[in-house]
Amino acid sequence: MLIVPEPGVQHKILEEFDHETGAHVADLYDIASTVCPGVAETTILITDADEGAESDTYTLHYPDYDIISITSDVEFYRQFTNGLLSQRFIRLVKALNKPDLGKNIADWIDVSFAHELGHVAAAARVRTAYGENGINELNANLSKQYFNLPLAMPTTEAQRSWHNNTGGYRTYLESYGYTPEVFKAMLEQNLKNYTELPTEISADNFAISAMRRLYDGTTTDQGSDFLFCMQI
């Protein structure tokens, strides 16, 4: 079971996590909350692989955008270096133009966390402007985008469903002739298409701005998605 921290404890937990991993999630949370106050209402949970299948994932909790789970399992982040997710943030890394970026696991924790904060910021903006109806529409639009992916769901979710045979997922695909090799190729195509979804590009752009501010205090990101929550 996931334990939601008390508000006052939240920051301390993030700082401890940063201390252990070398990441900067506490600073990124502050940066995003300053620019988009709605972000401060999101709970950040640190989970680890030992807590079971439900909690060993890195994810934003839909449909309310109220929780981001960060896994402390470094194996998850290794996928960004030499695994399935190695192409995921290529555009973002290029935009940041920092030669050493990605050499440490901590960089991937920062990048993926900043990206999720981008989704939360977008949802906060929609909620402020259009209320819960706006959130419902946002989620319906997201479902539609996912449904059009080759595997009809986010890549890591498909990978997990195959691995755990969730609801007979692997058995079903195997009955249609999917071998592990074919599925791997599908995962790669799925990731490519996923990376290009409008909501993902928008969250990436937010992450680029948040990371820039983290690295060098740059605040002049005119025209970027980082400022979008101040524009309503």
C-alpha span between 203 and 192 (Å, rounded): 16
17, 23 in Cβ contact below 8 A? yes
How many residues belong to the site for Zn ion (CB under 5 A)?
Answer: 2
Q: Is the dihedral of CA 120, 126, 131, 132 positive or negative?
A: negative
The distance of closest approach from Cβ of residue 33 to Zn ion in the complex, given in angstroms and rounded to an integer, is 19
Q: Residue 203 interacts with Zn ion (CB under 5 A)? A: yes
The distance of closest approach from Cβ of residue 60 to Zn ion in the complex, given in angstroms and rounded to an integer, is 7
User: Residues 137-144: contacts with CB within 8 Å, 24+ apart?
Assistant: 139/62, 139/63, 141/199, 142/62, 142/199
C-alpha span between 49 and 142 (Å, rounded): 27
89, 114 in Cβ contact below 8 A? no
Q: Residue 28 interacts with Zn ion (CB under 5 A)? A: no
The distance of closest approach from Cβ of residue 119 to Zn ion in the complex, given in angstroms and rounded to an integer, is 6
Coil, helix or strand for 44?
strand
Which of 13, 201 has the CB closer to Zn ion? 201
Which of 31, 207 has the CB closer to Zn ion? 207
Query: What binding mask, one character per residue, do residues 150-189 give for Zn ion by CB under 5 A, x or -?
Result: ----------------------------------------
The distance of closest approach from Cβ of residue 1 to Zn ion in the complex, given in angstroms and rounded to an integer, is 25
- Cα torsion through 55, 61, 67, 72, rounded to 10: 30
Which of 5, 150 has the CB closer to Zn ion? 150
Contact region for Zn ion (CB under 5 A) — 2-10, 23-31, 70-78, 194-202? 194-202
The distance of closest approach from Cβ of residue 115 to Zn ion in the complex, given in angstroms and rounded to an integer, is 6
E-assigned strands of 1-145?
43-47, 59-60, 67-71
Which of 110, 200 has the CB closer to Zn ion? 200
Contact region for Zn ion (CB under 5 A) — 102-110, 137-145, 162-170, 195-203? 195-203
Residue ranges in contact with Zn ion by CB under 5 A: 200, 203
